[in-house]
C-alpha cells in the first residue's frame, strides 16, 4: 500500500470554506484505479493546517491519477480567494509498513 500526504496551510480566512469543500468533495477520486481511501484532518492546535492522506494500492496508481486531468477535476470546488502559505505546502510519498 502507498500513502500520499498533501500538507498545506491556509494563509487567510478561507480555512472554514476549505473544510466545507472537503466535506462536500465530489468523490470522483473514488473511481480512480488503485484508490483505496482518504482522510482529511487538521492539527488540533491549528485549524488552518490541512493534512490530506490518500491511500493507494501502489505508487504507480497514485502517480497516474496525480498526473491526469482527474487530479485537476478533483479541485474544481476549490474555495474562491484561497491563499496558501507556500513555505508550508508539502507532498509526502510513503510506503505503508503495517496497519
Ligand atoms: C496543496 C494544494 C492543495 C489544496 C489547497 C487542495 C485542496 C483541496 C480541496 C479544497 C478539495 C475539495 C475539492 C472539491 O470539493 O472539489 C480537494 C480535493 C481533493 N484533493 Fe486536494 N488540494 C491540494 C493538493 C492536493 C494533492 C497534492 C493531492 C494528492 C495527494 C490532493 C488530493 C485530493 C483528493 C484525492 C481530493 C478529493 C477529490 C474527490 O473527492 O474526487 N490534493 N483538495
- The 3 state secondary structure assigned to 36-99 is EEEEEECCCCCCCEEEEEEEECCHHHHHHHHHCHHHHHCCCCCCCCCCECHHHCEEEEEECCCC
Nearest residue to 10 via CA among 91, 64, 78: 78
pLDDT of residue 62: 98
CA distance 34 to 18: 26
Q: Confirm if 53 and 36 have CB atoms less than 8 A apart.
A: no
The CATH number of whichever domain residue 12 belongs to comes to 3.30.70.100
Give, using CA atoms, the residue closest to atom 4 of ligand 1: 8
pLDDT of residue 37: 98
pLDDT of residue 16: 97
End-to-end CA distance of the chain: 10
Length of the chain: 99
Q: Ligand 1: list residues with CB < 6 Å.
A: 4, 6, 8, 18, 21-22, 24-29, 38, 52, 54, 66, 74-78, 84, 89, 91
How many domains is the chain built from? 1
pLDDT of residue 93: 98
pLDDT of residue 35: 98
Instruction: Output the CA torsion sign for 50, 41, 35, 92.
Output: positive
pLDDT of residue 76: 86
The pTM is what? 0.90
pLDDT of residue 77: 82
Give, using CA atoms, the residue closest to atom 38 of ligand 1: 74
Range of the domain at 74: 2-95
Residues of the chain where predicted confidence (pLDDT) is lower than 70: none
pLDDT of residue 52: 98
Amino acid at each position: 500500500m502507498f500513502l500520499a500526504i498533501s500538507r498545506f496551510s491556509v494563509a487567510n480566512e478561507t480555512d472554514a470554506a476549505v473544510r466545507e469543500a472537503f466535506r462536500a468533495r465530489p468523490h470522483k477520486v473514488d473511481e480512480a484505479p488503485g484508490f483505496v481511501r482518504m482522510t482529511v484532518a487538521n492539527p488540533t492546535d491549528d485549524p488552518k493546517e490541512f493534512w490530506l492522506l490518500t491511500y493507494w494500492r501502489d505508487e504507480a496508481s497514485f502517480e497516474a491519477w496525480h498526473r491526469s486531468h482527474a487530479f485537476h477535476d478533483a479541485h474544481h470546488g476549490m474555495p474562491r480567494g484561497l491563499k496558501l502559505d507556500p513555505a508550508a505546502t508539502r507532498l509526502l510519498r510513503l510506503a505503508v509498513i503495517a496497519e
